[in-house]
Amino acid sequence: MKRATFTVLFYIKRTKKLKDGTSPIYARLTVNGLRSEFALQKSIDENLWNKDKGCIKGSSAEAKRFNTSLDLVKTKLYQHKSEIKEDGKELTALALKNAYLGIEEDPKTILSVFQEHNDWLKSLIGIDFAKGTWKRYEACYRHVKVFIQRKYKKKDLSLKEVSPIFIRDLEHYLKTECNCCHNTTTKYLRNFKKIIRIALSNGWMKVNPFANLKFHFDEVDMDFLSEEELNKVMNKQFDIERLQQVKDVYLFCCFTGLAFVDVKSLSYSDIEDNNGKLWIKKRRQKTKNWCNIPILEPALNIMDKYKNHLVCIKTDRILPVLTNQKMNAYLKEIADLCGIDKKLSTHTARHTFATTVTLSNHISIEVVSKMLGHSSINMTKKYARVVDDLISKDMMKIHDKYKTA
């Protein structure tokens, strides 16, 4: 690659004399033959100016101070030249001038970078990301947008205005104005942190505002059905078709461990015959990890029940699954009718599979982790801790019975 040529020339503009009769001093930058110039906010009597050397004539103390200030300008210009090259940017006379004057060329803003990221994410839905991931980033984008408008009275801010104080104020806003719980707030902040990482990696920011900030999730109690509660739901029959249908889908998840998004897309192409036993072999949409699940009899019976259902035939799906919102609304109704004082959701079915159906029946944690499609066995250990707590509580019930006098 041809090396860039660069020169700096100081000169006075005699045609633009100031009111006091002095002439303003300009710096002319030339890179590869192309020029750009700017005023130095200094002026001098034209008779004292050395045109050939680009400095003040003489060796007086005043002349030396003035010429030293010009040398300092030249030094700073060379520093900016090095920084531009280190950042991998194109060196031009205009870029150098703007760098010296502190003028950003097309400054990157928080919301513009955030939107670019979300658009990129949206284009990869079903390929590398689940739709839910994009929705979470979209929700985070909307919160940040409103926060900027309310806090700063602006439509957007430069990335360089993101500081630790900005982040702490955003955290406070999410918790107080948006009524987000601690864990939801932490999720949003981690989403926003990814946007900042993108800005840092592209050189749009120099300092990481998250460097000394730590955000942790609080442990939450997992809702799942005990064996007694699971039997209640299994034995409960509903005259209303929608409730019976939602109950069946929920139970199918309880006996397979599939997440809502995966059971909704489950088709017979995901079912394999393994020595006469049917297995679900499917990639999780969330993690792309494989789930290998032997299908238990209750789940097989539910599959058989809906094999001729019109919706299943039309959509090539195993079960007629409603939207997640409708499922959760009807599950609340089912819990009330079954006398279960727990908040049932599509995800409690997955918890029930991990705890009541498998680990409580002495299935190894490694096998459970594989069936759930977890990326790490550490993700499965939280269920094992829950089972241990249940065993401990049950043992405490008989503690007094065998207590020695």
Predicted local confidence at residue 1, as pLDDT: 46
Backbone angles phi, psi at 96, to 5 degrees: -70, -45
> CB under 8 Å to 380, separation ≥6 — which residues?
354, 365, 368, 369, 372, 374
How would you write the pLDDT of the chain (405 residues) with one tens digit per residue? 456 789 999 999 988 889 899 999 999 999 988 899 999 989 999 999 999 999 999 989 999 999 999 999 999 999 999 888 887 778 889 889 988 988 766 678 999 999 999 999 999 987 888 788 899 999 999 999 999 999 999 999 989 899 999 999 999 999 999 999 999 999 999 999 999 999 998 888 889 999 988 888 877 667 889 899 999 999 999 999 999 999 999 999 999 999 998 999 999 999 999 888 999 999 888 778 888 899 999 999 999 999 999 999 999 999 999 998 899 999 999 999 999 998 888 889 998 998 889 888 888 888 888 898 888 888 787 776 666 665 565 566 566 666 654
Predicted local confidence at residue 401, as pLDDT: 64
Which long-range contacts does 169-174 make (Cβ < 8 Å, 24+ apart)?
170/144, 173/143, 173/147, 174/143, 174/147
Q: Which residues of 142-162 are buried (b: 16+ CB within 10 A; e: fewer)?
A: ebbbebbeeeeeeebbebbeb
**Which SS3 state, helix, strand or coil, does residue 49 take?**
strand
Predicted local confidence at residue 329, as pLDDT: 92
Predicted local confidence at residue 390, as pLDDT: 59
Predicted local confidence at residue 378, as pLDDT: 80
- Give the Cα separation of 234 and 340 in Å (integer): 13
What is the set of domains in the chain, with CATH numbers?
6-101 (no CATH), 110-201 (1.10.150), 227-397 (1.10.443.10)
